Amino acid sequence: MDKQENKAIVTFKDKLLRILLNLFNVLKPSLISIGVGLAFGFIIMLIFNPGGAFPGLITLLTGGLGSGIKVAGDILLHAAPIILTGVALVVAFKTGLFNIGASGQMIVAGYVAIHVGVLWNIPAPFHWMVALLLGTVAGAIWGAIPGILKAFTNTNEVVSSIMLNYIGTFLAVFLIKANVYNGATAKSLNIQASAELPRLGALFGNSKANIGIFIAIAVAVLMYYVFKKTTLGYELKASGFNREASRYAGMNAKRNIVLSMLISGAIVGLGGAIQFLVIGTNLGTTYDLLPQGFDGISVALLGLTEPIGAVFAGTFLSYIRQGGFYMQVNGFPQQIIDIIIAVIVYTTSISVAIQLFFANLKTKRLMKKASTSEIEGGIEQ
């Protein structure tokens, strides 16, 4: 009995060690990239303010944890929209597309959600549900436009979605000034209380943290399931790997392109609605593109273009931005965070490219070895 128990324990330890090693190998590009980004940021801090560099780095790494439960709630509040934008970019990436129009989709969806939240009188809890739904639909429509142009006219989706970023931003500003403008703040009016997403006040004190984080995680899990377990996910991935081969296999490539961009836009739209269905969070009228749309690119790459990876990457990005806010106490501008994030993203891209290069090299070597073995076997016969 003791021998059997010992054998079971050893087997369990081996399996656990194997799982941890596999997990480390998967996360290695992201972990290396984060380390390189932080090291690069520390060097810049040393140049900028040698005496405050080390305290600044500590504040950056611990600022999100050492400031109470309210800050933890704020991290989750800001993480939800960028997680969803990251998941949306992952959906497009897996179909061989680049949805760089997330900012436009988010601002259009945000305006629709605010419009419903300010002007429509719907009883709770249906008010925020309708605003969330219509914001998602608006994002889907705006995302589908470059998909349709790509599928039927072969217009590059990067070019068309960039143009739609500006069209969406200018359209949203025009509609804000026409319908929901607050002259005192030069921003949109506050939404009604019934349109605000339910808060998690009991868990995070006075934070505005809401159910958005749970919605974001649920969407990420859903998209993971779609890509791993469904025919739709298989077809979308097949179209991304080789559009011509998928067409010859009987798949509707045009439909998959439009559907991918529509789903991607819908997820961004959901993130935009979550972003602005918070009392006190308003859309401005300065014609600036929303940064969350571009954060999605960082999240998707840092998450290794996987929906679940986007959850952790988005949370990390929100956490490090919160630390960057407190880092200003040590005399450092918050722009250092943007530099660190940029280095992390570039390093991640390079790490993934290097891994793919060596993986392809290994595959070719194995194929050559197998081919040589077959030839030698044929000669012997």
Mean pLDDT of 48-61: 83
Q: Looking at residue 33, what is its pLDDT?
A: 81
Q: Which of 267, 263, 266 is nearest to 216 (CA)?
A: 267
Over the stretch 141-171, which tens digit does the pLDDT of each residue have?
999 999 999 999 999 999 999 999 999 999 9
Q: Looking at residue 241, what is its pLDDT?
A: 74
pLDDT band of 378, cuts 50, 70, 90: low
- Rounded to whole angstroms, what are the CA distances from 34 to 29, 176, 291, 309? 9, 39, 20, 14
Which one-letter DSSP state was computed for residue 284?
Answer: B
CA distance 7 to 148: 59
Q: Looking at residue 320, what is its pLDDT?
A: 86
Q: Looking at residue 15, what is its pLDDT?
A: 74
Mean pLDDT of 331-347: 80
Q: Looking at residue 200, what is its pLDDT?
A: 87
Q: Looking at residue 292, what is its pLDDT?
A: 87
Q: Looking at residue 125, what is its pLDDT?
A: 87
Over the stretch 58-110, which tens digit does the pLDDT of each residue have?
888 887 666 667 788 889 999 999 999 999 999 999 988 999 999 999 999 99
* pTM of the predicted protein model: 0.86
Over the stretch 230-269, which tens digit does the pLDDT of each residue have?
999 988 888 877 777 777 777 888 899 999 999 999 999 9
Mean pLDDT of 51-61: 83
Average pLDDT value over all residues in the chain: 86
Over the stretch 358-370, which tens digit does the pLDDT of each residue have?
666 666 676 676 6
Q: Residue 20: what residue type? A: L
Q: Which of 270, 266, 262, 264 is nearest to 214 (CA)?
A: 270
| pLDDT > 60? residue 380 | no
pLDDT band of 6, cuts 50, 70, 90: low
CATH code that applies to domain 69-331:
1.10.3470
Q: Which of 63, 38, 43, 35 is nearest to 330 (CA)?
A: 63
Strand partners, 182: 187
| pLDDT > 60? residue 291 | yes
Three-state helix/strand/coil letters over 180-217? CEECCCCEECCCCHHHCCCECHHHHCCCCCECHHHHHH
Indicate the SS3 state at residue 230: coil
pLDDT band of 342, cuts 50, 70, 90: confident
Q: Looking at residue 277, what is its pLDDT?
A: 96
List the chain domain ranges.
69-331
| pLDDT > 80? residue 35 | yes
- Rounded to whole angstroms, what are the CA distances from 155 to 97, 145, 146, 159, 318? 12, 11, 8, 8, 34
Mean pLDDT of 214-229: 95
